[in-house]
Structure 1
């Protein structure tokens, strides 16, 4: 698998990364190459023709992708997160299409009214003549208008619980991309608002049962999303660390007859970067090990890992920018692109602040979310 990912990165992802970032252009060629290589179906079950791989393999793919293009990594991790819900509750034909690389799936949780509080949708779902009518204003949907289908949250029809999940196809009448994305980082991930105005889906588009959407999100989607977000931050960290190492090794102080790497302050700065990167990788690996073994602290690690990696990425990015000086501002070197991408994870729902609250709640035996949801 490593060779397959490396080939896709070398042939397609890396050569186009700077251009799609600069233009804010969806990396279609990269996603198509991932699909052709079987990587979009990596986590689909073998029963539907997929790779049957687990979260560790997905994390390895995301980390490698993020070393080259954060946007491509983010799109892929969102696809894996949506696939987790569809593998558990989606229709067989969609699962088969995902496994074959014919279907790109995304999450559509964040909303204009509740922002990063994904557990409190304001979207409505109403039974209407044997169909379901959906109305919503989603605030950020990765690959908006580009994906084939969206795992969509709404208030329940009538069931208990705060939300219900649906599979909404991209060509549903009334579904629109209602704005553009011109972001600081992850500029090519097409994270745009979407609106549903009288979108009608069949009743069997419901994923799971009415009102159980939050339970599905917490048990199935959230672990995948948080772990793979950490993997994405780790990939960005490794890209920044590699750039710093190259700069120190190759930049000469001619008047002293030394490289920057021969200077103690520069070496110490790089040592901090390398150590923090290795700490982040170790925490991610421990989280995966906890999940794989069913360790008692597995959920605590899952709630911690995105915050740990996101904050490390920002701090390392800042250190690399200062260490490399004016060279870091040059777009052709790629340092500033990775630094901008590093900033995204800490404000992506659940934000670092929300995750710290979750960790505190779990630590003190409190309900995970306000309102008693657990």
Structure 2
């Protein structure tokens, strides 16, 4: 009999649990874990969901059972358990405890697995693994990318460079990182130090909590409120011992470890059984429950079958087999774990709907608890690799064979190309041929013209030289001498003179230069850096754009306090009359560098540059500096401002929706040989979308300048790896 404390369990009994798959030791572990869920984890689940609170107490309780070392070998202080036990533990946490906690634990086990995959000749990693249980250390993985989304094997937003035999320089921006800022250590998927433009050339790195910048303040989601997913940024100089495996070994880690184990554990959440357990005693609709149990146990059976298969292939999850770097036995079952994850995630949604229908109005109310579980159950479908991607991969491999699988876009499907070309008329074929020849010539030119300095500066990938500074003293007509206040090689204290809320999401901060007659020392379009020490914990380096009243979120500081500034640090170096036209494609807070460029043009009557701003924001009220921008557009014929809104008001007569191909075609001057630069500033998805539109409309790659550390990678992703990049200067001189 299954018990819940001193009483019989109120849900589905042990008759429908495949206990014959578990060893006696694993059954005992499950009993202890169920009791832990009853006493500590389950009571926290509702509160964590309502308040978005990270379930730290639940994680501590799991650590007390030694479960943070579940797959760590016994020789390193762990339990040395197998895939079947991993599936059972995650299922138990999700079913009897808390789905958010189960997700956090899944990412911890996954992080441990990436280290164990290549720990054999690395004393540093061995040392960490030996401390996990004793010091109760929690891990997490950062693989998802803000640009490539569910294609978690494609870390476009990462850079790694070998500095010498011992150190590498690393820059990684991850999105949707579970336990962002809460975990003690992270394993990161990045490109390799020997990156050659092919994204199959990957690496894994180990970093610690005090080496990441992460925030979950904006974490708001449909479900799994407690897992605190958020963006994570890592940058700095790291010892080569932090590299997990050899350069380029990340492809094997993805195919032979991450995707296999992650999909196994996410499929093991077994949330449907929790739906069934929650309502079965209240509404005895036998056929509905019967079908749900059958479907769910079919899903469970597939999970445990594949777990057993992986155990058989890896000598019961013996990590020592991977001391031979060529051994990747889990890879052979990739298409099976894809099917398993898809089926389990789909079944969650189906069973959730059935339970809601069975419960009627009671199920719709939050009191029963079904609503929370229904929301949590949706996560598996969209979690990378998403079910949309998985069914495509399975379909492609089933119909055309595994040789056609091209995760990193390294080969051409000649059959598809021929099929599409065959449909074209002679005129269409000629047009396509001309387009391809032009693109080939562009890429050849880009390859030949690539500047040796370009893309070597991690923060300024378009720069063909170190950032220039206005170091000279400037004398105005009244005879006043203006000295540069900032320097690029040292820090200067500036006093915060005022702060103002410019919207419900943004604040404006104005800093005073040391002397009232000083100038910043920056070109318009450049950014500066400041460093802070928040709560006495750690110093951070944060970039903002040139001028005194830019928008950034630094709510810990108030007028009268001082911060240290340094600059210029990079960005676009705008000079009057070097362009015929300047186009600014921006969204949200991306207006900040654009605004500085607009002000610069407007305040210089001798500058003949024509300027077009295409600005997206969610609502009319969210448009930053709207009054100022409208004033420039109405008073200066050189400036044209076009707004587009995601949620326009009823009387709105402007553009609607994201900046797209048609919008750019309507408002931006066509490529015509003029000196024209298109500056993009927004999120990764917005930047990629705009670049795609520019290419479709015939704009060359060297006219597009993207603010941000990964702008060059984004241009190459759209135009090709040999695309000629824009310079950081308006004249594009090398």
Specify if TM > 0.5. Answer: yes
Which residue is 1:274 aligned to?
A: 293
1:183 aligns with 2:202: no
1:307 aligns with 2:307: no
Deviation at 1:14, TM superposition (A): 0.7
Deviation string 1:320-362 (CA, Å, 9 cap, x unpaired) is: 1121111112323211111111000000000011112222344
Among 73, 85, 91, the alignment partner of 1:45 is 73
Deviation string 1:173-224 (CA, Å, 9 cap, x unpaired) is: x63337531111100001111123x333212100011112121121012211
RMSD value, Cα: 2.0
Count of paired positions:
353
Contact kept in structure 1, 2:140 and 2:185, CA below 8 Å: yes
Which residue is 1:341 aligned to?
A: 376
* d(CA) in 1 for partners of 2:115, 2:289: 43
1:108 aligns with 2:142: yes
Secondary structure of 2:389's counterpart equals helix
Residues 205 and 238 of structure 1, relative CA distance in 2, 3 Å threshold:
same
Deviation string 1:127-173 (CA, Å, 9 cap, x unpaired) is: 3465322223211100000101111011111156332110011101x
Residues 28 and 178 of structure 1, relative CA distance in 2, 3 Å threshold:
closer
Q: Which runs of 5+ in 2 are unaligned?
A: 1-28, 120-124, 314-328, 412-734
* d(CA) in 1 for partners of 2:232, 2:286: 47
The structure with more radius of gyration: 2
* d(CA) in 2 for partners of 1:8, 1:199: 40
Among 208, 212, 215, the alignment partner of 1:169 is 208
Secondary structure of 1:168's counterpart equals strand
Which residue is 2:352 aligned to?
A: 317
Secondary structure of 1:194's counterpart equals strand
* 82-91 vs 97-106, greater mean Cα deviation: 97-106
Q: Which runs of 5+ in 1 are unaligned?
A: 249-260
Which residue is 1:150 aligned to?
A: 186
Secondary structure of 1:89's counterpart equals coil
Among 83, 96, 103, the alignment partner of 1:55 is 83
Which residue is 1:255 aligned to?
A: none
1:79 aligns with 2:117: no
Which residue is 2:159 aligned to?
A: 124
Which residue is 1:213 aligned to?
A: 250
* d(CA) in 1 for partners of 2:372, 2:40: 18
Secondary structure of 2:280's counterpart equals helix
Contact kept in structure 2, 1:362 and 1:368, CA below 8 Å: no
Contact kept in structure 2, 1:124 and 1:135, CA below 8 Å: yes
* 184-193 vs 356-365, greater mean Cα deviation: 356-365
1:93 aligns with 2:135: no
* d(CA) in 1 for partners of 2:154, 2:53: 31
1:226 aligns with 2:287: no
* d(CA) in 2 for partners of 1:159, 1:136: 14
Deviation at 1:273, TM superposition (A): 1.4
* d(CA) in 2 for partners of 1:179, 1:200: 27
1:194 aligns with 2:232: yes
Deviation at 1:244, TM superposition (A): 2.7
Contact kept in structure 2, 1:178 and 1:195, CA below 8 Å: no
* d(CA) in 1 for partners of 2:56, 2:363: 28
Residues 357 and 204 of structure 1, relative CA distance in 2, 3 Å threshold:
same
* d(CA) in 1 for partners of 2:311, 2:82: 9
Deviation string 1:260-279 (CA, Å, 9 cap, x unpaired) is: x3xxxx33222221221121
Which residue is 1:135 aligned to?
A: 171
Contact kept in structure 1, 2:71 and 2:80, CA below 8 Å: yes
Counterpart mapping for 1:234-249 below 5 A: 234=270, 236-248=271-283
Deviation at 1:4, TM superposition (A): 2.0
Residues 293 and 89 of structure 1, relative CA distance in 2, 3 Å threshold:
closer
Deviation at 1:11, TM superposition (A): 1.5
Residues 273 and 55 of structure 1, relative CA distance in 2, 3 Å threshold:
same
Query: Which aligned segments of 4 or more residues in structure 1 are displaced greater than 6 angstroms?
Result: none
Instruction: Give the structure with the higher percent helix.
Output: 1
Instruction: Give the structure with the higher percent strand.
Output: 2
Deviation at 1:71, TM superposition (A): 0.2
Contact kept in structure 1, 2:87 and 2:303, CA below 8 Å: no
Contact kept in structure 2, 1:116 and 1:348, CA below 8 Å: yes
1:10 aligns with 2:29: no
* d(CA) in 2 for partners of 1:85, 1:55: 14
* d(CA) in 1 for partners of 2:91, 2:214: 31
* d(CA) in 1 for partners of 2:202, 2:378: 29
Contact kept in structure 1, 2:214 and 2:232, CA below 8 Å: yes
Among 395, 406, 419, the alignment partner of 1:360 is 395
